[in-house]
């Protein structure tokens, strides 16, 4: 009888989480999350902060520099803990499971988990006895990225580390594909950034946009955005 009462109470409590929500506050929070995502999309650099892994679709992969920027932007500190490790010098096998805690003023905001081992395909060709520190760093990086995606509500934009990515993201950075989301065009915030980079010159913006076949910044696809911004900035500096 008591078990049924507990079960009913848990269901009621779960429903009350929704019933007691302040929908206005929720809408405001979701709006802030959306704004933060737009800033990240506009400011992050492909091949440095994120990259596209061939064969994994169009969703970009967050890289270590991008994760570190998220932590910095939110004023957080990171702490790492080894949850589990194997250092078998006889068999040449090394593995680590790491927990990354992101903290604000000493309080834990979120946690991420990452692991790596010398039997992963990227490490098999190397000397396992020289990979001990490498797999430790890889596990730490994966834990950091996991935590950064969680704290920034960025899982809808970026994916987690992929097996074929190295520590620096070099393999991803050699591919020039970029990602699109929703309708594939840039946001208003990104259009304003482009205009700002031109030094407030409509002529520069129109000149570069025309080169890519656009008549308005509202038409710009995210696949062309960074290239356009680079050219706009270059022309503005020449002027």
Host domain of residue 230 = 180-239
**Of 85-89, 99-103, 121-125, 131-135, minimum mean pLDDT range:** 121-125
Q: Where does a domain end: 139, 162, 179? A: 179
> How many domains would you assign to the chain?
2
Identify which has the larger pLDDT, 89 or 157.
Answer: 89
Q: Which residues contact 112 (CB under 8 A, 6 or more apart)?
A: 99, 100, 102, 142, 143, 144, 145, 146, 147, 148, 149, 150
Residue 223 domain flag: yes
Residue 23 domain flag: no
Burial class (CB in 10 A: 0-12, 13-18, 19+), 69: buried
Supply the pTM of this predicted model. 0.57
Q: How much is the pLDDT for 196?
A: 83
Shared domain check, 156 and 75: yes
pLDDT score of 4 more than 80: no
Identify which has the larger pLDDT, 54 or 67.
Answer: 67
């Amino acid at each position: 009888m008591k078990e049924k009462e507990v079960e009913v109470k848990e269901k009621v409590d779960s429903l009350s989480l929704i019933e007691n929500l302040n929908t206005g506050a929720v809408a405001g929070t979701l709006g802030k999350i959306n704004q933060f995502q737009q800033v990240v999309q506009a400011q992050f650099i492909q091949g440095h902060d994120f990259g596209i892994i061939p064969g994994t679709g169009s969703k970009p992969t967050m890289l270590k520099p991008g994760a570190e920027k998220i932590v910095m932007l939110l004023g957080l500190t990171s702490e790492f803990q080894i949850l589990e490790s194997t250092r078998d010098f006889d068999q040449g096998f090394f593995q680590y499971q790491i927990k990354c805690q992101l903290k604000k003023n000493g309080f834990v905001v979120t946690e991420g988990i990452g692991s790596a081992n010398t039997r992963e395909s990227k490490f098999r060709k190397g000397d396992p006895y020289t990979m001990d520190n490498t797999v430790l760093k890889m596990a730490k990086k994966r834990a950091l990225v996991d935590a950064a995606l969680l704290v920034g509500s960025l899982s809808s934009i970026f994916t987690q580390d992929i097996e074929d990515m190295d520590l620096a993201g070099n393999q991803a950075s050699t591919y020039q594909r970029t990602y699109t989301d929703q309708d594939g065009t840039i946001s208003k915030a990104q259009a304003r950034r482009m205009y700002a980079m031109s030094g407030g010159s409509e002529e520069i913006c129109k000149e570069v946009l025309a080169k890519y076949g656009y008549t308005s910044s509202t038409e710009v696809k995210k696949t062309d955005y960074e290239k356009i911004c680079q050219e706009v900035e270059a022309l503005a500096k020449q002027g």
